[in-house]
């Protein structure tokens, strides 16, 4: 699949790199809100709540939401794959700004990321007729018009992050073949091809592609988080037998790292307790602490990335949403039963709010406004 993006866009991206550090610093000041998609008896939406778990606003969505992209005072909520919409809204009050429809023969995969200057947004998408992964490119200065796409060099792209260098995109290719006429049917489980890819944000050039070993090809690479060294933590879902003792959490050193995945240690009972499924990943402690949640396993696991050491586990039914606390000491988490809690001092969970009939969806994002 050809890379499609205009020369003018490429020149504009390259010109922006020189001023990114200042703009990034400004975007990280202000009041911190947390975003989480939800479902309830009335339908679907996204809520913004504060560090105490108090809901400040909600915005109705046309269907089930998944995760978000953010830039300064705006955020974008993506529909669950195969998704047909994305909604742009003000992060401070939840007012809708734009609604983006999926392009022809494309569907959203639930995640996106902005360039550091906020001008362009990349959304993970899949080509419905072939199952190939692409990044849709949207210009925020033109009302989020879709101006092109990059191939992700894999199937089933899911989470995407902008690396700390401000120039490189990290993309998790889940490696599962699904087509538009059979949207939830997994067609290639014996021959999956998951990978972590690094792409040049300005040109779409493939910088590096990292795959699990062949005997671990059924580890679907789905969620990523970046530590303070610029290493990428990877949370996976295993599509093989539930009795297989496979590693589920790994890290890679970034686009210059020529080695493969390194798996993080965890006690055997905790690995088994994840039930082959990691639902979300986040960093706290200035990028030192890694949290990985498992709604199927009803638990969250913590690691010290500096030491490469497993720390502890916290249990909570149907836990999945996770984001760093404002002070960086721990995490805010949510679950499918409507609960919001704080996790600090090891793995102690402190309840903040219980929204009753609100079913919090998979991902939480912290936004500074």
Strand-pairing partners, residue 170, are 161, 198
**Integer angstrom CA distances of residue 214 from 186, 194, 221:** 19, 10, 14
Q: What pLDDT shows up at residue 4?
A: 53
Closest Cα to residue 364, out of 287, 283, 248? 283
Binned average pLDDT, 10 residues per bin, the chain of 369 residues: 47 42 43 93 95 94 97 95 96 96 98 97 97 98 97 98 97 96 90 98 98 97 95 98 96 97 97 98 93 97 95 96 90 96 84 83 93
Q: What pLDDT shows up at residue 17?
A: 40
Q: How does DSSP classify residue 265?
A: P
Phi and psi torsions of 72, nearest 5°? 50, -115
Q: How does DSSP classify residue 229?
A: T
Q: What pLDDT shows up at residue 5?
A: 54
Q: What pLDDT shows up at residue 348?
A: 83
Q: How does DSSP classify residue 289?
A: E
Q: What pLDDT shows up at residue 7?
A: 43
Residue 291, classed as helix, strand or coil, is strand
Q: What pLDDT shows up at residue 345?
A: 65
The Cα–Cα gap between 242 and 180 comes to 28
Q: What pLDDT shows up at residue 273?
A: 97
Q: What pLDDT shows up at residue 107?
A: 97
Rounded to an integer, what is the distance from CA 121 to the centroid of its chain? 14
The Cα–Cα gap between 254 and 100 comes to 31
The Cα–Cα gap between 92 and 80 comes to 23
Q: What pLDDT shows up at residue 354?
A: 78
> Quick count: other Cβ atoms within 10 Å of Cβ 286?
10
Rounded to an integer, what is the distance from CA 223 to the centroid of its chain? 6
Rounded to an integer, what is the distance from CA 99 to the centroid of its chain? 20
User: Domains, the chain, ranges and CATH?
Assistant: 7-30+62-278+299-312 (2.130.10.10)
Q: What is the enclosing helix (H) or strand (E) of 24?
A: helix 20-27
Written in H, E and C, the secondary structure of 204-228 is: CCEEEEECCCHHHCCEEEEEEEECC
Give me 231's structure tokens. 């290493």
């Amino acid at each position: 699949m050809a890379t499609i993006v205009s020369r003018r866009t490429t020149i504009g991206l390259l010109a922006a790199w020189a001023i990114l550090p200042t703009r990034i610093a400004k975007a990280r000041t202000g009041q911190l809100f947390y975003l989480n998609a939800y479902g309830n008896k009335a339908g679907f939406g996204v809520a913004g709540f504060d560090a105490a778990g108090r809901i400040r606003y909600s915005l109705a969505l046309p269907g089930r939401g998944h995760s978000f992209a953010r830039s300064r005072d705006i955020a974008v909520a993506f529909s669950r794959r195969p998704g047909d919409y994305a909604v742009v809204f003000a992060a401070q009050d939840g007012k809708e700004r734009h609604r983006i429809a999926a392009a022809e023969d494309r569907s959203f995969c639930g995640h996106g990321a902005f360039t550091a200057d906020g001008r362009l947004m990349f959304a993970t998408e899949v080509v419905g007729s072939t199952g190939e992964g692409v990044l849709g490119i949207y210009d925020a200065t033109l009302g989020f018009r879709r101006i092109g796409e990059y191939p992700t060099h894999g199937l089933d792209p899911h989470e995407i992050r902008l690396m700390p260098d401000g120039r490189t995109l990290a993309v998790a290719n889940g490696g599962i073949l699904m087509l538009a006429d059979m949207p939830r049917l997994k067609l290639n489980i014996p021959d999956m091809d998951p990978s972590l890819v690094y792409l040049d944000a300005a040109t779409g050039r493939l910088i590096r592609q990292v795959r699990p070993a062949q005997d671990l090809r059924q580890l679907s690479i789905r969620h990523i988080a970046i530590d303070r060294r610029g290493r990428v933590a990877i949370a996976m879902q295993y599509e093989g037998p539930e009795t297989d003792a496979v590693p589920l959490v790994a890290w890679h050193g970034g686009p210059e790292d020529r080695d493969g995945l390194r798996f993080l240690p965890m006690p055997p009972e905790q690995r088994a307790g994840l039930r082959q499924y990691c639902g979300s990943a986040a960093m706290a402690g200035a990028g030192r602490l890694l949290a990985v949640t498992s709604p199927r396993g009803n638990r969250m696991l913590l690691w010290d990335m500096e030491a490469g050491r497993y720390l502890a586990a916290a249990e909570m039914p149907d836990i999945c949403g996770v984001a760093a606390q404002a002070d960086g000491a721990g995490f805010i988490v949510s679950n499918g039963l409507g609960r919001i809690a704080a996790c600090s001092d090891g793995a102690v969970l402190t309840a903040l709010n219980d929204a009753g009939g609100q079913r919090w969806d998979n991902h939480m994002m912290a936004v500074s406004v």
